[in-house]
Amino acid sequence: MSAAKVEGNGRGRPRDPTADQAIFTAAAELIAERGYDGFSMAAVADRAGVSKSTVYRRWPDRAHLVLETLMSRMRVSIFDSGDLRADLYAFARTLAVGMRAPGSRKLVAELTLAVANLPELADAFSRLYAQRRADANAIFERARSAGKLRAGVDADLLVDQLSGALHYRMLLRGDGPSDAYAERLVDSILEGALPPGSDV
């Protein structure tokens, strides 16, 4: 199961993925250069080489475009194969890949600041992360039901530990987390969450 994705409004002709990618690239560059306050739909269209109507057909406002731009950089793979460790490795590695992409640190930093000050953007981000959190929590809850997680372990806290440490590494340490770091992090988190003698 993949992470939730905000889709376009579905009107008109099928979306051109080439145009989508050009728009995402332009949006990420402009946010990094100017911050959210200096970011506009018109500027994105100009830099991406598309018309303003092309942008507005896909996203009704800045918040929606910014949210999907971030999701295009920070895609995660959420699987429920029954192998808890492997599923969490996939989740952590794909998130780490997005964090290592050029410009991701600046993009996330600028948007974190904007989210703190703009209710409409905060609401959009809350919806995104609520869905991702629900998907990740579901992995832990199914593992608990199968006896692969200690009773009393807070699944929500485990998600915070995993995603929070990766974001900390990128934003405050200044280096995108490696796949090896992401896997060590999963191992560390599971060490205290698995039942004694468990081999997940």
User: Which residue pairs from 166-171 have beta carbons closer than 8 angstroms and sit at least 24 positions apart in sequence?
Assistant: 166/92, 166/95, 166/96, 166/99, 167/99, 167/108, 169/99, 170/99, 170/104, 170/105, 170/108, 171/105, 171/108, 171/109, 171/112
Average confidence (pLDDT) over 52-74: 87
pLDDT higher than threshold 90 for residue 186: yes
Find the range with the poorest average confidence among 14-18, 59-63, 112-116.
14-18
Q: How confident is the model at residue 42 (pLDDT cuts 50, 70, 90)?
A: very high
For the stretch 85-108, pLDDT in tens is 998 999 899 989 989 988 888 888
pLDDT higher than threshold 70 for residue 162: yes
User: Which residue pairs from 195-199 have beta carbons closer than 8 angstroms and sit at least 24 positions apart in sequence?
Assistant: 195/147, 195/148, 195/149, 195/150, 198/148
How is domain 17-70 classified at the architecture level of CATH?
Orthogonal Bundle (1.10)
CA dist 118 and 172 (Å) reads 23
Domain ranges in the chain are: 17-70, 74-191
5 against 151, higher pLDDT: 151
Do residues 89 and 185 lie in contact, with contact meaning Cβ atoms separated by under 8 Å? no
Do residues 154 and 137 lie in contact, with contact meaning Cβ atoms separated by under 8 Å? no
CATH class for the domain made up of 74-191: mainly alpha
